[in-house]
Amino acid sequence: MEKRLQSWKKAFLSRGGRLTLIQSVLGSLPIYYMSLFKIPCGVIGRLEKLMKGFLWEGFIKSKEEWGLEVGNLRNQNEALLAKWLSKYGLQDNGWNANPPLWGSSRSPWKDISCGLQSFLQCCKFEVGNGERVRCWEDGWLEGGPLKEQFPRLFLLSRMHNQNIASFVDLSINSLSWNFDFRRILNEVEIEEAARLLQKVENVRLSQSRADDRRWKLELSGLFTCKSYRSFLSNNGIVQHFPPSSQIWKSKVPPKVKVLVWLVAIGKLNTCDQIQRRSPFICFSPHWCSLCKAKEESVNHIFLHCSYTIQLWWKLFQEVRVSWVIPKGCFELLSTNFEALGIGRKAKALWGCLVSAVFWNIWLECNKRIFEDYTGVGVANLWGRVRYWAAFWASVSK
């Protein structure tokens, strides 16, 4: 890992190239190991330190929460180990993982089974004949496992780790529940028992259908490492980054995607950002190199500049769409324009057009600053935008 992510290499790579290299290193080196064994904390810390030094800290978060979705390695490790839990219990034994026996500390199953409780939070149990779902321990009703909703009654019951079928007596007209309490219940416990019976009164068992376990994080109900890693990263809270799909699903080079992502989160190296990080540096002049009228910032360069806004007007006139200038680039990228249609090819071409506008504005701005370049007119720049958008769309699958 250290040889492949040597710090001097980043000087010769764009941010898109660095991202691609990190992803290739992660994909080829530790993935197989992480799918079988739990990586020590010291090793994870060292690997993440190497990657942070090669790129920056923002890569750890997922794309849905404003990151680049490269790590967190700890969550990735747990998600890969959880795929074995997703396969466990699909046979005739129970859903619960067998606890590791004494003397089996070197077995991979010890580390895998440690993540069972977190894994079960993402599972939904569908009751059929009641022969596999545990009544107290599994979350087959709304609100979580019954042992957490009624802890006092759970302690009084003799039937722990028993399936639902063991709790019911089937008769012709009704379903009778027997929780086998150790003693006669007092008044408080009777009220809890009444609430418990009210919760299960609508449950009906079907002898023709087996119990099933579904994955709540996917519409298909099937486990995926990606959805579980996102759950672990967000601590169970789903966060959403609206421009994510428009940026990362576009058919443009990685360096262009990273540029548009930096624009969306406002982290591009414009004068205001550099001045904020290094106030001792004096920029002269510090105004926008395109219009030479206002201070340089991300939203001004790419959206509000008198030079740039003409480019956006040409784009929307080309696709015959009326629009209002948004507050910033984040709002622009968060808006789902169906300017060219709703088909896959139409969305791909629109993504290429928007990305080409951002890319060519940035190139034009840098040329004027670093190459003493007088610049071109809006019509010439619009021609470049159309060329690159058509080229990217034509070479994409």
Q: What are phi and psi of 287, to 5 degrees?
A: -85, 175
308 three-state secondary structure? helix
Q: Are 86 and 223 in contact (CB under 8 A)?
A: yes
Q: For position 66, what pLDDT does the model report?
A: 44
State the pLDDT confidence band at 6, using cuts at 50, 70 and 90: low
**What's the rounded Cα separation, in Å, for the pair 134 and 260?**
50
Q: How many CB atoms lie within 10 A of CB 94?
A: 17
* 358 membership: H or E segment, kind and range: helix 344-370
Q: For position 221, what pLDDT does the model report?
A: 87
**What's the rounded Cα separation, in Å, for the pair 196 and 190?**
10
Q: Are 319 and 306 in contact (CB under 8 A)?
A: no
Q: Which amino acid is at 293?
A: A
- The structure's pTM equals 0.63
Give the residue with greater pLDDT, 90 vs 269: 269
Tens of pLDDT, residues 270-299: 888 887 777 666 665 678 888 888 888 899
Q: For position 5, what pLDDT does the model report?
A: 56
DSSP conformation class of 163: B
Q: Are 275 and 286 in contact (CB under 8 A)?
A: yes
**What's the rounded Cα separation, in Å, for the pair 211 and 206?**
9
Tens of pLDDT, residues 311-329: 999 999 888 888 888 888 8
CA-based max dimension of the chain: 91
State the pLDDT confidence band at 71, using cuts at 50, 70 and 90: low
Exposed/middle/buried for residue 358 (C-beta within 10 Å: 0-12, 13-18, 19+): buried
Q: Which two tokens stand for residue 167?
A: 């709790």
- What is each CA distance from 115 to 11, 77, 80, 294, in whole angstroms? 40, 11, 11, 55
26 forms bridges with which residues in the sheet? Answer: none
Q: At what angle do helices 41-54 and 73-87 cross, to 10 degrees?
A: 130
Q: Are 192 and 151 in contact (CB under 8 A)?
A: no
Q: Say yes or no to pLDDT of 67 above 80.
A: no
Q: What are phi and psi of 168, to 5 degrees?
A: -115, 150
**What's the rounded Cα separation, in Å, for the pair 384 and 90?**
57
Residues 6+ apart with CB under 8 A from 281: 274, 275
**What's the rounded Cα separation, in Å, for the pair 136 and 153?**
10
Q: For position 362, what pLDDT does the model report?
A: 93
Q: Which amino acid is at 123?
A: C
Q: Say yes or no to pLDDT of 359 above 90.
A: yes
State the pLDDT confidence band at 261, using cuts at 50, 70 and 90: confident
DSSP conformation class of 65: G
Size of the chain, expressed as the number of residues it contains:
397
Give the residue with greater pLDDT, 274 vs 194: 194
Tens of pLDDT, residues 86-139: 887 665 555 665 555 555 556 677 788 888 888 888 888 888 888 888 888 888
Q: Are 333 and 250 in contact (CB under 8 A)?
A: no
Q: Give me the chain's average pLDDT, please.
A: 80
**What's the rounded Cα separation, in Å, for the pair 297 and 272?**
6
Q: Say yes or no to pLDDT of 391 above 60.
A: yes
- Residue-by-residue DSSP string for 181-199: BSS---HHHHHHHHHHHHH
Q: Say yes or no to pLDDT of 355 above 90.
A: yes
215 forms bridges with which residues in the sheet? Answer: 123
What percentage of the chain carries pLDDT values higher than 70?
76
**What's the rounded Cα separation, in Å, for the pair 304 and 300?**
5
Domain residue ranges of the chain, discontinuous segments joined by +: 1-122+216-240, 123-215, 244-395
